[in-house]
Amino acid sequence: MANENRKWYEKAGAEGDVVISTRVRLARNLAQVPFPNRMTPDQKADVERRVRDALLNSNSAIAADFTFLAMDDLSNEQAVSLVERHIVSPEFIANSKGRGILISKDESISIMVNEEDHVRIQILHEGLALTETAETADRIDTLLNESLRFAFDPELGYLTQCPTNLGTGMRASVMLHLPALTESGAMSRIASNLSKLGLVIRGTYGEGSNVTGAMYQLSNQITLGLSEREAIENLQNIAMQLIQEERKARKTLTKNIAVQDKIGRSAGVLRGAKLLSCEEYMKLISNVRLGIAEGILSGVSLADITALTTAVQPATMIAEHGSNLPPQQRDILRADQVRKALSVLQ
């Protein structure tokens, strides 16, 4: 498959042994329009139309790259699949009324309409790429602002429904695979230290979510009183420190014969399983990913693992194969997909 036709999560990125992806999200609201929690259905429909037209009817070369989806038109499984692929937040699909989304072909750019704010611009990138991702977000922001005119105050910055997003309106995050730091019990200490630096580390799908497969989201908390560049640089520096700490912990951890055995057994189960739940898969693939990153296993790339993990999530499988897919049939199909994908794993 040509690289330009691949989804962002099917590609390899910088520092990919630890960093799965980078995300930058901008919260924006249209000037002189009530915030979403005070809007009428007609106002929501008008905002949706204006945002859609601002992109699709623009002279920008990227306009043809986008598809608009009205959330009311999606099945529950299709909506949940968007969350599993990190295209939207869980909150966005909680209430579909008056909400829509513009998505690029490679799913790296999504523009959510009428979530907590009128517009949520989100950019995803494989690996660690904070500067590049922020620059893409800024270009989309500038393009939309030309016709939408976002609400902005000289002192407070961009005006948002939630005061914690005032200022830059930017949330930047990196998705980290931290099995060694998790195994060592260091994550509570790390989380406490990060909060003092204006950063937060959360579960796999962000605020309120659990950690699955040792996947964590590290993101900025402060949006007021510092520039986007300062926030990005701060997150980049802390992310690099965590990456180095995880790599150091991995070197110690993987010298342990019991850990090597667990990695090998995990690979064996995944290569031979006939039934495989998503929960079991996430635990086992975390071990396999560690083994590949540390050179204990070979034959499959980390990008292949990320793509596979996305493909075998429950709602994504149902959206792909049909809603009449009962749990056991899904577990059979998942096991089959995993066996085929990992058949060359050594």
- For residue 202, give the 3-state DSSP assignment: strand
Q: Say if CB 136 and CB 60 are below 8 A apart.
A: no
- Three-state SS for 65-99 is HEEEEEHHHCCHHHHHHHHHCCCCCHHHHHCCCCC
Residue 334, marked binder: no
Residue 206, marked binder: yes
The DSSP letter of residue 342 is T
Residue 203, marked binder: yes
Residue 204, marked binder: yes
Residue 25, marked binder: yes
Residue 21, marked binder: yes
- Three-state SS for 263-314 is HHHHHHHHHHCCCCCHHHHHHHHHHHHHHHHCCCCCCCCHHHHHHHHHHCCH
Q: Sheet of 109-113: strands edge to edge?
A: 66-70, 100-104, 109-113, 119-126, 19-28, 170-177, 215-220, 199-202
Q: Of 78, 125, 119, whose CA–CA distance to 102 is shortest?
A: 119
Residue 174, marked binder: yes
Residues forming beta bridges with residue 111, ordered by sequence position: 102, 121
- How many Cα atoms are found within 13 Å in the side-chain-facing hemisphere of 192? 5
Q: Of 87, 100, 96, 92, whose CA–CA distance to 52 is shortest?
A: 100
119: left (phi over 0), alpha (psi -120 to 50) or beta: beta
Residue 86, marked binder: yes
What are the percentages of helix, strand and coil residues in the chain, rounded to 5?
A: 50, 15, 35
Residue 211, marked binder: no
Residue 173, marked binder: yes
Residue 125, marked binder: no
175 residue type, one letter: M
Residue 126, marked binder: no
Mutual angle of helices 228-253 and 130-148, in 10-degree steps: 150
Residue 207, marked binder: yes
Structure tokens that stand for 105 in this block: 């072909």
Structure tokens that stand for 75 in this block: 């099945």
Binding residue positions for ATP: 21-25, 86, 120, 171-175, 202-207
Binding residue positions: 21-25, 86, 120, 171-175, 202-207
